[in-house]
Amino acid sequence: METLFDIRSPESFFSSEMAEEGKDEKWRRKELVIFSPEYYALCAASGMVSAGATHLAITPLDVLKVNMQVNPMKYQSIWSGLSVLLKEQGPSGLWRGWGGKFFGYGIQGGFKYGLYEYFKRKYLDVLTGYNRNVVFFASSASAQILADLSLCPFEAVKVRVQTQPQFAKGLIDGFPKLYASEGLFGFYRGLTPLWCRNLPFSMLMFSSFEHSVDFLYHKVLQTRKQDCSYFQQLGVTTVAGYTAGAVGTIVSNPADNIVAALNNKKVDNILQAVRSIGAVNLLTRSLPVRFTIVGPVISFQWFFIDTIKLLTGLPTSGGLNTDKG
């Protein structure tokens, strides 16, 4: 069986006919775009826009999720929790922390998606002969570590704004108030659990996305990516993105609960958070609302990124071997 999408070679992004014309000017232009700084910048910019926009759109559900995590007796379910928030804070209360969602997760998305492509290319050159999952895990972990360093201060302010209406109105007054009360440590109090949440999520999300794309082309559509219409390619991206988000949500839920508890100062350290929340609640608390949030968010992010790629003449993301057979 001919391997048409071998991630170890640049030719994998194109049809075999185009790969054979490696000296053709059209091929050289596309190779330059894909592996140039401009390509990584495009991935980062599209990741920033898509992540910022999607996280902004689900701010009300995020407000509910965080309050369910820090005050589960008061916010017991999605619908009752929304009713309590609307009754006590009004419609505007559902949008508290929107700045942290838009700017924080936008910046994080830029680092995450842009650096993933960069590290994947680098690790493919270094980790030759290794299982492809090693490359996916190493690339996503490397990208996520740096992405979370940029996100953590925004997350710290966002959680306080969403759960403590008297603390601040948003980022503008929240940042100086947090720094004045807790110093630089206050912005990074939740960094370790944030990594514990986002690293396994990111590693499973990216690897699940790559494998899902390959499965959909190989087993469902049974045709090569480049032979599919743009509509079909974006459909594969959307389904694979939702699957990847759902898988990552289950693994990252315990750490997400710990992040909320630490940033809301319900506890002083991770061990206290685990004891306070309990093993079962770590796994299940806020999981339904996170399923409602994360799957669609990741799916739309990949959809936006791949739409931008298609509009600029680039192949869509993911896929290991899209040759029919």
Per residue in 235-244, pLDDT tens?
999 999 999 9
The pLDDT of residue 142 is 97
Q: Do 14 and 30 form a contact (C-beta atoms < 8 A)?
A: yes
Mean per-residue pLDDT of the chain: 83
Residues with Cβ within 8 Å of residue 190, at least 6 apart in sequence: 152, 155, 156, 159, 258, 259, 262, 263
Statement: residue 105 has pLDDT above 60:
yes
Per residue in 130-144, pLDDT tens?
888 999 999 999 999
Statement: residue 68 has pLDDT above 70:
yes
Which of these, 38, 86, 34, lies nearest to 64 by C-alpha position?
Answer: 86
Q: Give domain limits for the chain.
A: 33-312
Statement: residue 11 has pLDDT above 50:
no
Mean local confidence (pLDDT), 107-113: 96
The pLDDT of residue 46 is 95
How far apart are alpha carbons 285 and 238 in whole angstroms? 27
Task: List the single range of 1-10, 229-238, 241-250, 316-325 with lowest mean pLDDT.
Answer: 1-10
What's the per-residue H, E or C state across the chain?
CCCCCCCCCHHHHCCHHHHHCCCCHHHHHHHHHHCCHHHHHHHHHHHHHHHHHHHHHCHHHHHHHHHHHHCCCCCCCHHHHHHHHHHHHCHHHHHCCHHHHHHHHHHHHHHHHHHHHHHHHHHHHHCCCCCHHHHHHHHHHHHHHHHHHHHHHHHHHHHHHHHCCCCCCCHHHHHHHHHHHHCHHHHCCCHHHHHHHHHHHHHHHHHHHHHHHHHHHHHHHCCCHHHCCHHHHHHHHHHHHHHHHHHHHHHHHHHHHHHHHHHCCCCCCHHHHHHHHCHHHHHHCCHHHHHHHHHHHHHHHHHHHHHHHHHCCCCCCCCCCCCCC
What count of residues does the chain have? Answer: 325
Mean local confidence (pLDDT), 246-255: 84
Straight-line distance from the first to the last Cα atom of the chain, in angstroms, rounded to the nearest whole number: 7
Confidence of residue 325 (pLDDT cuts 50, 70, 90): very low
59: exposed, middle or buried (Cβ count in 10 Å: 0-12, 13-18, 19+): buried
Mean local confidence (pLDDT), 38-49: 93
How far apart are alpha carbons 123 and 136 in whole angstroms? 9
Between 116 and 256, residue with greater pLDDT: 116
Between 13 and 214, residue with greater pLDDT: 214
Confidence of residue 303 (pLDDT cuts 50, 70, 90): very high
Mean local confidence (pLDDT), 146-173: 91
Statement: residue 324 has pLDDT above 70:
no
Mean local confidence (pLDDT), 219-248: 92
Mean local confidence (pLDDT), 269-297: 83
Considering the segment(s) 33-312 as one domain, its CATH architecture is: Alpha/alpha barrel (1.50)
305: Cα within 13 Å, side-chain hemisphere: 33
The pLDDT of residue 282 is 84
Statement: residue 165 has pLDDT above 90:
no
The pLDDT of residue 319 is 67
Please tell me which of 33-47, 65-79, 205-219 the model is most confident about, judged by mean pLDDT. Answer: 205-219
This prediction has a pTM of: 0.77
